[in-house]
Each structure stands twice: as C-alpha cells, then as structure tokens.
Structure 1
Amino acid sequence: MRGWLRQTAGGLPRQFWFLWTGTLINRIGSFVVLFLSIYLTSDRGFSQSQAGLVLGIYGVGGAIGTMTGGVLSDRWGRRPTLLIAQFGASALMLALGFAQTYPQILAAAFVLGLFAEGARPAFGAMMIDIVPEADRVRAFSLNYWAINLGFALAAVCAGLAAQVDYLILFVVDSTTTLITAVISLIFLAETRPARPSAEIAAVAPTGGGLGSAWRDRVFLTFVGLNFLTVLVIFQHGSTLSLSMIADGFSATDYGTIIAVNGVLIVCGQLFVPRLIQGRDSARVLAAGALLVGAGFGLVGVAGSALALAGTVVIWTLGEMLQSPSNAATIAALAPSALRGRYQGLNSLSWQAGSALAPIFGGLMLQNAGDTALWVTCFVICALVAAGQVIAGPARSRRATQMREHEATMSDIAVK
C-alpha cells in the first residue's frame, strides 16, 4: 500500500500540492452552479427555459473569461491572473445570491462566469509549468480526484443546505473561493517561463497572439470534439435535475444520486493512470466518449433512484477515462510560450458547452421530452468517439514535433 501511494502521489513539486489543496477547498464549497437551476425554478419561481438562460449566460461570461484569462496569464503571469479571478469570483458569488430581479440575476451570473472561469487557464498553465511531462498524467489524475472529492461532499451538503435556505449555498461558495484565493496569495509563486521573442516566433510565426492558437487545426479539432462531449456531460448540472424533479424526485434525491459521480471518482480515479498507461490516448478518449453517451442515453429508461444512480456510474467511468488523457493531450500540444492561450481555448470548449448545454437541453426537455434529449446525447457521443479515433494520428505527430522543439530550445538555452 505504501509503495502504491509513493507511485501515485510521490515526487510531485511542492507548489503542485498548494494548487491541489486550493482545488479541494474550493470544490467542497462549489454549491451554486450545481443547484442553480433548482434554486431558480423551485425557490424563485422561474420557468425551466429561464433557468436554462441564466446558466447559459453564466457560460457566456465564462467563455469570455477563459479567453481573457488565457491571454493575461501569458502576458501578466499566472499568479496575478489567478488572484484577480479568485477574489473577484468570491465577491460576485454573494452578489448573485442577493440579486432580486431576473435582469439582476442575469447580469450577476454573466460577471460571475467571467471571473470564476477566468482562473482556469492560469491554473492549468501553472500546473503544466511546474509538473514534468512524465508526471503529468499522475498530477492531473490527483487534481481531478480532489475536484471530485470536493464535488461529492458539496452535492450532499448543498442538497441539505437547500432545504434550510438557498442563500447558504452562495455564502459557503463565496467563502471557500476566498480561502482558495488566500492560499494562492500566500503560497503560490509565479511560474511563467521566461521565453525569448525568437522562441515565440518559432512556435507561432504570427507573433504568438491569440490568433495563433485559433489557427492550430490539430488543436482546434481536439477542442471541437471536446466541446461536443462537454455539451452532453453538462446535462448533469442542468436538465438531469429538472428531469428528476419533473418525475417526482426531490432536490435531496438529486444531490445524493449525483454524488455517486464524485464518490466513484474518489474511489477509483487514482487507479486510472495505471489502467491507461501505454495505451493509445485516442482510443482511450473514444472509449470514454462512448461510456458518457451510454450513461446519459440510459437516463431516458431509468425509472427509479437506483437505476438513475446506475446511469451516473456508467457516464462517470467515461469521465474518469477522459479527464487525465484530455489534460495530458492539451499539455503535449501547447507550446510552452503560449500555454495560457491554449489553456484558454480549451477552457472555451467547456464554457461554450456550459453555455449551450442548459439552453439546448432545456429547450429539448420542454419541447421534445426527456427521451429525445437522452437519445440525442448518446448519438453525439458516438460521433465524438469516431472523431477521436480518426484525429488521433495527427495529434500524435504534433506532440512528437512539440517535444523535439522544446528539447531543441532547452539545448539552445543551456548553451
């Protein structure tokens, strides 16, 4: 057991563990987005489509925030970008909780998304900066494990807190975000590589601007496939809860069932690196997409809490396979001088998915019914799986070229 722990968590940089600790604390209090649709429909009396629009507006703000955060983390540095985003998000979480009118809620959700999601590119770039390539799958799995340990606790605690007062969700979320920001302020050092302009020109002939990432077709293909998967996965935080409430389940039922996702990842995620080690990442990503599609597709025929928990198990297994492979692929494809921008573009696929998923899902649920929604989710993921297999060889060639380039630049720097 001790040897397994050393292989799983040993040898990682000290700063990684500060990032990991902040992630865990922040995720334990991540109540608001998870229960926002239930809060808006059950407590505030808005319609399903209005709730979907609020979540969509949050995603739009997040999309702008991730791109801005990516550029700023390359220009200003990882640390200042992270601090501004985290302190801002803490204050705005309370603003959303105290918003009274629907326009105020829309405005607060948009600005909250801008700041909360603006931290992601800086966080991702900092992790790639400090963790050697050979240890990245382990590091990403450990970070994902922390995210979901916090998520499992948050899902259950938020369901109980919602029965007392929904405002508690916003206060706790704001507080844990503030604690994370303080950890970043005290313990995190700047990690942005000092790269000469000649290197930036070598990896990005257009001058290293945001457009260079947008013109990377190999990376854009990967981001597009990721977006389609996110479009399905984000149904768990929007239409899944609405579908369950419509079928007579309570908010506590939803919180308990969705907590299966976090519990399964907490119990099994740290074994995933060994499982996928040496395997073709494209096929791992394809298998993950199929499992995600199957899990959500079966929601349409799940009539009991136990059956719904079973669907969560299936799509969670797909998520567990995809997470470390996704993160390692992004790290391998991004030039070191442009990591923030590439992280921002990847985060954009998540924010676009979070913006469109509740709108898409809410409209389908309201107009076509839940069966059509869940079948469509399966079809989308099946197409993603095929796309991952087809696009895999081009990604492998690019990753090899990037490693050779980074090795050459390191040799030049030493000389």
Structure 2
Amino acid sequence: MKTLINNYLSTFKGLSQEVWWLSLITLINRAGTMVIPFLSLYLTKSLNFTLSDVGWIMSAFGLGSVIGSWLGGKLTDKIGYYKVMVFSLLTTGILFISLQYLTTFESFCFGIFLVMLVADMFRPAMFVALSAYSKPENKTRSVTLIRLAINLGFSAGPAIGGIIITTLSYSGLFWVDGITCIIATLVLINVLNPKTTKTLDDVKNKNPKSAYHDKAFLIFLMAMTLFGVVFLQYFSTMPLYYKDVHSLTEFEIGILLGMNGFIIFAFEMPLIKWLENTTFTKSGLMLFGAILTGLSFLILIMTDWVGILVIGMLLMTFGEMIAFPFSNAFAMDRAKKGNQGEYMALYSIAFSVAHIFGHNAGMRMVDGIGFDSTWIVITLLAALCVFLLFALRQYLNAKKKLREKEREEDVLWI
C-alpha cells in the first residue's frame, strides 16, 4: 500500500510552485461551481421556465462564454494574464451573487450572458499562465493538475449542492459560488503577483503565425467543438434524464456527478504520466477519448437498467480524462507558433460555441424527439468528432513525413 501511495505521489513531482498555487486558486474557485450542473433544474423547478426557455438561456450562457474567451485572449496578449485573471475572478464573484435576484426570462438571459462573459475571460489567461509556469516537458501533467483541482472541487460541489438545495434553497448555491470566486481572487493577488513569481517557458515570437491560418489547429478546433457538444450533455440534458426517466433525486444526481470528479482525482495523473511514456500521439489519444465518450451515450439506449448510468458515467469519465489533458497540451504546443492568447482563446471558444448550440439543441431534441433519439444523434456527433481527429492525425503524420524527407534531401545536398 505504501509503495502504491509513493508511486502515486511521484507522478506530481517536478511541477513548479506557481502551478501548484494556480491549482489551489482553481480548486477554491471550482468548489463553488455547484450552480452549473443544477442550473437546468433550478430554472425549471424554481423559476418555472419551459425546456425551450432553458435552451435559450443556455445559449446566452454559451454566447457570453464565446465573447468572454475572445476578449480574455485579446487582453491577455495586451496587458498580461495576471491582470485579466484578477479582474475576471473578482467581478465574477459579485455577478454570481447578483444572479439569484433575476427571475424573469429576459433578465436571466442577460444576467447569465454577463456572468459568463466576465467569467470566461479567465480561461485563456489561465492557460497562458499555466504554459508560462510549466517546463515544456511538464505541460501535460500541469494541465492534469489543474483538471484535478477542478474535479476535486467539482466532485464535492454537486454533492454539497444537493444537500444545500434539500436543506436550504437554490439561492444558497449562488452565494457559495460568488464567495469562492472572491476568495480565489484574494489568494491569487497574494501568491501569483508578477513581482514574486518566475516563468519557466517564456515564449517570445517576433513573427507570430495567426491561429486562423494554422490548418491543423482549425481541424482540431472543429473536433473539439463537437466533443464539447457531446460532453456538455452530461451537465444539461443528462441530469433531466436521470430525474425524469430514472427518477433519481437531486442528491443522487449530485453523487453520480460527484463520482466523475472523484475518479478523475484518483486516477487521472497516474494515467496521464503512463500515457506520456508510451508511443501514442496526442492526436491519437484525443481520438480514443472521443470514442469512449460517444460510447457512454450509445449504451444508454440499450437497456432500462439503472446501473447503466454508472457504466455510462465511467466511460465518459475515462474519455474526458484522456481527451482533455492532451487536447489542452496540443493547443499549448501549437500556441508557440503565434500569439498565445489568441490560440488559447480559440481553444476556449471551441467549448463556448459548444455551450451555445449543445445545451439548446439537446433541450430541444429531448423536448421534441425524446431522450433515446437524442442519444442517437449525440452518438453520431461523437462519430463525426472521431473522424475529424483521425483526419488530424493523418494530416500531422503526412506533414511530419514531408519534413523528414526535406531534411534527408538537405543532408544529401550538403
């Protein structure tokens, strides 16, 4: 047992102090994100909105995320990641607390749009900070540590959220989320001030390449947008499926979602370290992760057995454990070709676009064609994502062979 624990702890060695602080800030912030997985239930039960209304609100959520990610990337390249992160966290805390007082459809659409616009300015700034604070060989594990912080907070969040809803009310969730954002800001100001921190991978590109002209990156972004549409169903339509079809309570839904975060916390870092030492490419691993996530929806239509929900969650969890760290590391590697803020903003925007279309489309499909037919459509989208990632892998392999051939020709010429 002691050897097992030591081997687990050894997977965290070599990461910089700044990465650990950034992970702690993320943990504090994400500990309060219990609002998000319960948002569809809050809107339908407490505010009596229709599924169609919820779909449009989720689209406003996604639109704010898109604009916020783009703006965050621009500001990161202009004023630096630190200032953007401080502003985003502090303002988001205030806005989250205020959101509970909006009760009409129009006001909530605007409110969630504004919250996400400010909140998602943080994402490209955080990715650039993470890249700067990580040695090149540690970037994937650094990303994984951030994900562990997110999921550790998120594993506790839904379970605590279910208890808060049961004992108090939904409004308590907004207070907790807002206060944790403000606490995260105070920690950030004290431990990651640029005057006291050091960068380990300061990339300066005098002739940056536009991300919009990077063909491989554009294929990657399309695949990630589709993956986001598929993955996000677990946080919008899936809780409704758990409740309406399998009659789970809010507390049981919270436990099931919390299991996802706990498994990631326990197994993702050792899994990533092992995969890094194999011959698998980042594109190949992303492809495998997308396959597992697609299968998690396909199996739901095969049986009414409630245990299939656990199996589906396990498939999705391992799918995201593989796909997200390596997709993030892939994006950071490509970002060295140009403005890092622009690249990481587009990476964030891919998932923001998924928020715009994924939640709304999922809600409308559930309302119009039912859950089983919706899962079939989602599985087909996952298959298209897999195809794009396969095309990306083939394109990268072809480019690699072309570069090797050119080098051989140069050697022969010399």
Same fold per superposition (TM over 0.5): yes
Distance 1:189 1:60, change over 3 A: same
1:106: which partner in 2?
Answer: 109
Q: Count matched residues.
A: 392
Distance 1:339 1:296, change over 3 A: same
1:267: which partner in 2?
Answer: 266
2:191: which partner in 1?
Answer: 187
1:73-110 residue CA offsets vs partner (Å, 9 max, x unmatched):
01100000111111111111012111122211111100
- Any residues of structure 2 matched to 1:3-402 within 5 Å, and which? 3-5=6-8, 7-163=10-166, 164-190=168-194, 199-201=205-207, 203-204=208-209, 212-247=210-245, 248-277=247-276, 278=278, 279-335=280-336, 338-395=339-396
Distance 1:304 1:59 in 2: 33
Distance 1:173 1:136 in 2: 28
Distance 2:233 2:104 in 1: 26
% identity of equivalent residues: 24
2:410: which partner in 1?
Answer: none
Distance 1:308 1:77, change over 3 A: same
The letter for the 2-side match of 1:96 is: L
CA contact (8 A) 1:68 1:118 kept: yes
Equivalent residue of 1:9, what SS? coil
CA contact (8 A) 1:333 1:398 kept: no
Structure 1 residue 7: deviation in Å?
Answer: 3.2
CA contact (8 A) 1:52 1:238 kept: no
Farther-moved stretch of structure 1 (270-279 vs 341-350): 270-279
Segments of structure 2 that go 5 or more residues without pairing to the other structure are 404-414
Distance 1:230 1:84, change over 3 A: same
Farther-moved stretch of structure 1 (271-280 vs 34-43): 271-280
Distance 1:379 1:194 in 2: 41
Distance 2:382 2:202 in 1: 40
Structure 1 residue 195: deviation in Å?
Answer: 7.2
The letter for the 1-side match of 2:206 is: I
1:412: which partner in 2?
Answer: none
The letter for the 1-side match of 2:66 is: A
Structure 1 residue 169: deviation in Å?
Answer: 0.4
1:174-197 residue CA offsets vs partner (Å, 9 max, x unmatched):
01111111111111134788777x
Equivalent residue of 1:98, what SS? coil
1:207: which partner in 2?
Answer: none
Structure 1 residue 383: deviation in Å?
Answer: 2.1
| TM-score where L is the length of structure 1 | 0.89
CA RMSD of the aligned region, Å? 2.2
Distance 2:202 2:314 in 1: 44
Equivalent residue of 1:200, what SS? coil
CA contact (8 A) 1:257 1:305 kept: no
| TM-score where L is the length of structure 2 | 0.90
